[in-house]
Structure 1
Amino acid sequence: MKKSFRGTTAGAAATTLGLALTLALTLTLTSCSRDRPAGDAPAALSHIHGLGARGDTLYVATHGGVHSPGPAGRPVPVGDRRDDFMGFTVTPTGAFLASGHPAPGPDGPADLGLIESTDSGLTWRERSLGGEVDFHSLDTAADSTVYGYDSANGRLRISRDGVTWQDGAALRALDIAVSPASRDTVLATTETGVARSTDGGKTFAPGAGQVLAYVDWGAPDALFGIDSNGVLFRGTGAEAGAAWSRVATVPGGAPQALTVVDARRLLVATRDGVYESRDAGRSFERRMEVTSGGGAH
């Protein structure tokens, strides 16, 4: 059955959050499909790398392909690809973009580059950078400009068409988010706080303020972030440097992914489940069960 929870506020010292994010950053640079056994994905998921929605349908990108919740919140595979989707996003037009590593099998490129699905994850095609790049975070601007964080090289990359790429700033980050109102405003979560770019990712100011693990921007007035303890924050005044106010603590422990669908609908993956809020983070309902996977991206 689905379970409903009411969030509660909680705090943590900035140094503790910084240490936790440092660990998460280390794990995200080393995590890959080689530690995943071959074969179909397990009945219960543990490694969540991205979340998305089309209408009421929830999509969960994992270490073993994309899944949606079935009866009693059990994960049901979408399509037949069991790739390790390290980066995942749903574009403003409803297409799925992903990156990561191929499923175990015949020898081939270690990195997927950028791949795309236009049928909600049933089939995929390569767009660019196959065998070259593993994006651990992906986001798109309102004009479909694609931003990807190349974790192996510690660099942001930008593409207007998903095919031709430009190098952006070099930085050590866990997650990125692009402003829905301005493609040139990009946020990145770092060990010292949220870093901000106002020139399309070419440069970033040093990370400062609230230390967050994941951040997402679902609408101009819907910027949210979550720290390594699962405390959810809402950002205001982000175009001039966000101020963060605490909203609630998401159930289930350390977060694995965050997606903001709109000003009221949020999706969060934690250690024990994928949760959905329809009231801007004040309460959450568990949509899918997750086994403890360490909480790292």
Structure 2
Amino acid sequence: MDLLYKAQTRFLFHAHIRIKIPAACPDTLFGELYAVLENVDRKYNAYQPGSYIDQINRHAGSFVNVDDETIRMLEQVIDLSVFFDGAYDITIMPLIRLWGFYRDDIRRVPAPDEINAIRHLINYRNIEISGNRVRIGKGQEIITGSFIKAYATDRLAAALQERGIDNAIINAGGSTIRAINTSSDAPWQVNVTHPESEESLFTLNLDNFSYSTSSQSTAFVDIDGKRYGHILNPATGHPATNRLLGIATESAMIGDIISTGLFNETSETFLEKTAQLSLHYPLAGFVLDQDGIITATPNFSGLQE
């Protein structure tokens, strides 16, 4: 007999977060689960006034006292930033603002001298951690958009499992999906579509795994009729040119960071980097480049069986 489910959707982290759980669970559980997400949003989302990350940004140049969770989160982010050697950098916010994201007064391609003038601000190595204090350089700003929703998703998955729920799925805005199931349950299926045509590319089977996607089609600025995506290349100061990248791994946060970090890679370096990352994380993935060519890790087909 197939298990029956019920679902609820709420808007958090600038995304619709849908939680699907067994129908036998009490409806009051949804409130408990969304409270987990709201707690992460309130404490650690850079866009939330008064959050720990917001305080770090507002007091750039000075140390700010934070909690243990902020430290653990930032250390994990920095570890992967080291691997990507700056291709993934959470201090990229000044460049994002320069391109006109999060503001309405700019709609032009930045000049090279404007990009060069702020390039020194984009450097994760200037994030200093001393005990429970964090400091970034003057003029720097941390953006949490590439990981905070996924971090909250991991926290939510843990909360479900702590409550004995071993079959559920979390869809955080379509770009972060976390499946929970036991070995005796059928895996959750996720349909991956083309970012522009929306035609189906794959159907993935997720077995206690997360699936993260990065795409330039979901957030962009329109300048003189041309779309410029929100994922920027710190090395060039310009938007990355790949069209879609998907990563399946255990942790949603790790998956979101990796999918963002790899978005600036060529098809060849994508395979090199995923091979290196697979020594530390179980993962599979693919990239759809600007020419419409799909390159996948050797084990990616295993998710489609």
TM-score w.r.t. structure 2 length? 0.28
Whichever structure has more helix as a proportion of its residues is 2
Question: Whose radius of gyration is greater, 1 or 2?
Answer: 2
TM-score w.r.t. structure 1 length? 0.29
Whichever structure has more strand as a proportion of its residues is 1
